[in-house]
Structure 1
Amino acid sequence: MHGSEHKDGEHSTPEPDPRSQLWPRVLFSMAIFGMLVGLMIGRLTAPEPRVLEQVQVVEGGLDLWFNEEPKLHGEEVEGTLALVFEAEGKAARGQLQLQGKPVAWRVQKSDGGLLVTLVATRPLHGDWAGTEDEGRWRVQVRLRE
């Protein structure tokens, strides 16, 4: 009686098909290749993140320079001016003078993006407006008592 072993091809058991073992490898490599191409296309079409590049102290307020126009939400809360930008940036702080009195400002990261707060010992009011200037976006914050 013959076993199922291959001995000089003298038995009835067919040889295993080498293609059946390669087909899953081909499908897996096509899936990996498709995912990599998709990731590359996604990186090329993704928008550039908005970044706070510079904070400039000017007479009566601040100029905030961004690489692109950020979404902005601002409020006056109990005498404090708070602006939230959908942007990235580094934390910073400083002081400016408003009619000879100090005003503290701070830039910090928050859940909604970048939070800019201006605080003084007296209630502050402010106006802000954004304009495109020299290929960058400038948000001018002007304070008043």
Structure 2
Amino acid sequence: MGGPEPEDGRHSTPDDDPRPNLWPRFLFSLALFGLMVGMMIGRLTEPELVQLQRIEVRQDGLVLWFDHEPEVRAEELEGAYALVLGADGRAARGRLNLGAAPVSWRVQRATEGVLLRFVATRPLRGEWHGGAEGGHWRLQVSLHVE
């Protein structure tokens, strides 16, 4: 509703600004720049993945050689013995004999790293010991048949 006064444009809504609004673009570019810098810093500070270099078969188990110390977690599952190693390596398999009992072993990749499993006809118990030797990390796995 209009008043008795003539409209001179002083109290009306201002016209739209013809210039583009750059504030959202600026915030988006700041966020994108922060994401890229964060990814570069994360890549630089990411630890090297431990590499499984070789496997040696012994009388009572295996000896695994790594370039650094891996994270090791042992599991005993229904008579089988398994080690989850925080490392990267190629798949391998083989057999060894514990007395008269044949034991099959297998190395395969898993989501946590490398999975080393031992399976025999009798339940297995295992122990592992690791240590630095000659600039490498040596992990010795010893098995016992129950």
1:130: which partner in 2?
A: 130
**Structure 2 CA distance for partners of 1:64 and 1:37, relative to 1, 3 Å:** same
State the Cα distance separating 1:86 from its structure 2 match: 1.1
1:3: which partner in 2?
A: none
State the Cα distance separating 1:106 from its structure 2 match: 0.1
Distance 1:58 1:76 in 2: 21
Distance 2:32 2:121 in 1: 60
Distance 2:82 2:32 in 1: 47
State the SS of the aligned residue for 2:90.
coil
Distance 2:56 2:83 in 1: 16
Structure 2: runs of 5+ lacking an equivalent: 1-30
Which amino acid is 2:56 matched to? Answer: Q
State the Cα distance separating 1:45 from its structure 2 match: 3.8
Distance 1:38 1:122 in 2: 52
Matches within 5 A, 1:86-97: 86-97=86-97
1:60: which partner in 2?
A: 60
TM-score, structure 2 normalization:
0.70
| CA offset digits 1:60-96 (Å, max 9, x no partner) | 0001111111111101111100110111111110001
Distance 2:107 2:61 in 1: 14
- Number of residue equivalences: 131
Identity value in percent: 52
Which amino acid is 2:134 matched to? Answer: E
1:142: which partner in 2?
A: 142
Which amino acid is 1:65 matched to? Answer: W
Distance 1:127 1:47 in 2: 27
Distance 2:36 2:135 in 1: 33
Structure 1: runs of 5+ lacking an equivalent: 1-30
1:109: which partner in 2?
A: 109
TM-score, structure 1 normalization:
0.70
Distance 1:44 1:129 in 2: 32
Distance 1:51 1:39 in 2: 24
